[in-house]
Chains A and B, each alone.
Chain A
Amino acid sequence: MRRETQRLILLLLPAGILFSAFFLIPMAELFLIGGAGKDGWAAYAAILTNANYFNSLLATLGVAVLTTIVTLIISGISGVFLQRHKFRGNGALVAMLTFPLAFPGVVIGFMVIMLAGRQGLIGAVSEALIGDKIVFAYSLTGLFMGYVYFSIPRTILTVMAAAEKLDPKLEEAARSLGASPFRVVLDVIIPGLKPAFISAGAICFATAVGAFGTAFTLAARINVLPMVIYTEFTLAANITMAAALSFVLGAVTWIVLALARTAAGGTVAAAG
């Protein structure tokens, strides 16, 4: 028994060292720096009391949640479709869809500008049609679009892998019991894809919370936390506030993901 425990500790050691070196220690350091400024721990309170910080926190979370939901809906539908219908060029299309995975945030931002910027496609078309130039690249909407564009490929791939494992007999059984195609989606396909939705959604959410390059490219006006952190750190040299904001950003993301995981974990386990 003792030897078992010893061996277990030995096996856990490398992971433990890594975890400490690259996660625990930096996070603790960050947390301490956040409280080491001239205002002390009040820096953390400022995130809630200072309207600017608080609004940017809300905006960040809002964009991330919306991005996650929209990405999951689009990728869920396309992923299942691409998995189920093997047409000519299916493989090439899937390969092409994975293109944006390699792009840095700057490129994504640039593409949003080309689409919805002042000289963009949407502006040109809308001007020709309704005489009004629609421009939304330099706002939260543009940022949201960039994140969705960036998150879709990865999510589609995850959904496709999961859709392949769905048992078609379950759908046939549901239909034999009178379920319409819509009910089949609701009662069989979505529950079957739930684990994939959770993991892909978590990555999507975390990416949208932390992505910086896209926001930076689009405008300095966009008030999301990564941008605020950047401004505090480089322009205002307010290292304490930057550290406090970083820590909170990390912690909030972690909490949201943990909540999603337990909420789903319970039902996923119950579903077997």
Chain B
Amino acid sequence: MSDINPMSIALKNCAKTFADGTKALEPLDLAINAGETVVFLGPSGCGKTTTLRIIAGLEEPDAGGSVLFDGQDVTQIPIEQRNVGMVFQSYALFPNMSVAENIGYGLKIRRMPAAQVRTRVGEMLAMMQIEKLANRRIDQLSGGQRQRVALARAIAVRPRALLLDEPLTALDAKLRDTLRLEIDTLLRSLKITAIYVTHDQAEAMALGDRIVVMEHGRVAQIGAPRDIYQKPASRFVADFIGTMNRLNGAVRNGVFTCRAGDLPWPAAPADASEILFRPEDIRVTEDGEPSTLRGRIASAFFLGDRTRLFVEVGERQPLVVESTARRDFSHGEQVGLAIDPRGIVIL
């Protein structure tokens, strides 16, 4: 299946102002390597789709912006000549064609001989495990099946990049997980350059070689999922991805003092007035274990494998703490807390 010749994509100074004056994108520079999977992540309306459509050739960047495929300027080339595959949230399958006809459409457009089209469509059907659906009408398919057909249709023409705009958002949670895994396997086996748009951070983490976090038409941070999670570049990124706890206080002699108590932290920078850390970097101390931080349980949710605790420590927001201890936590209970200083982020 590695018959696809992936390309690199670059955006140079691409801004977008719509005809009605909406400024959807600030000038944006972005480089995507050949064969890489990049996820555009951000809240609704931050400009993800607009950026994707500029790459596809469905929108033109404002004057001064350019789109490069393998270093070649394609800004003026219409989408039908760019050879990029697209997958939409709404599937956008042709209702007047069968499943097989949908998948073969791009090949027919390219005037591929009918026998070869049949072979290639067969390959695609097999790859997506939908052989039995070949002659079905589109309205006889479930959402998950439709998205498989849409993927097969986009890949059949061997595009040089695959652009996916929230392909799983319309599906229910369980199917979303299954298909996410399938898409991940697919993208890796094809070694195709892929851009995947989502507002779901779990999807972004699972699929992306790199994630581009966007905020109000700007890039907030670009990085590998682990970097984005562990070293968020801004409060926005920290809050948007995963859960972030925060404590306000001051550092004196290698100790961070806050309302909850004292946190020994040898590497503390002297001017830290707010620290951020993830739920997995804080834990409830065992009975008898000395602890210098204390809080009161505001609520506890038993999730089966763990208990999610909201611990009141006199800050604006209670801390989120996860415990795997085999015990009950009761509302109002006083608990000791320990924070792993290695997980602390200062912004």
Contact = CB atoms under 8 A, between A and B. Distances in A.
A175 B80 contact: yes
B85 interface: yes
B154 interface: yes
Q: Taking chain B's interface residues, is the majority helix, strand, or loop, or is none over half, making it mixed?
A: mixed
Nearest to B83: A178
A263 interface: no
A196 B55 CA distance: 35
Contacts of A170: 92, 94
Contacts of B294: none
A183 B110 CA distance: 12
Q: Taking chain A's interface residues, is the majority helix, strand, or loop, or is none over half, making it mixed?
A: helix
Contact of B80 (A178, A192, A271): A178
A184 to B, nearest CB: 9
B242 interface: no
Given A175-B78, A178-B83, A188 B94 contact: yes
Nearest to B88: A169
A187 B105 CA distance: 10
Contacts of A183: 109
B110 to A, nearest CB: 6
B92 A169 contact: yes
B148 to A, nearest CB: 15
Nearest to B84: A176
A174 B95 CA distance: 12
Interface string B145-185: 00000000110010000000000000000000000000000
Contacts of B280: none
A60 to B, nearest CB: 33
B157 A167 contact: no
Given A172-B86, A174-B94, A178-B157, A272 B80 contact: no
A194 B137 CA distance: 17
B79 interface: yes
Contacts of A177: 80, 85, 105-106, 109, 153-154, 157
Given A178-B83, A180-B80, A187-B105, A173 B110 contact: no
A50 B78 CA distance: 61
A270 interface: yes
Interface string B55-88: 0101000000000000000000011110111101
A179 B80 contact: yes
A267 interface: yes
A104 interface: no
A177 B140 CA distance: 23
B248 interface: no
A191 interface: yes
Contacts of B94: 170, 173-174, 187-188, 191
Contacts of A176: 56, 79-80, 84-86, 154
B90 interface: yes
A106 B85 CA distance: 56
B138 interface: yes
Contacts of B88: 169, 172-173
A178 B90 contact: no
A208 to B, nearest CB: 28
B86 A173 contact: yes
Residue among A170, A172, A176 facing the most chain B CB atoms (10 A cut-off): A176
Nearest to B53: A172
Given A177-B105, A178-B80, 7 more contacts: A169-B88, A172-B79, A175-B58, A176-B79, A176-B154, A177-B109, A177-B157
25 contacts: A169-B92, A172-B58, A172-B79, A173-B86, A173-B92, A174-B94, A174-B105, A175-B79, A176-B79, A177-B85, A177-B106, A177-B109, A177-B153, A178-B83, A179-B80, A179-B105, A180-B80, A187-B94, A191-B95, A191-B96, A192-B96, A267-B96, A271-B96, A271-B137, A272-B95
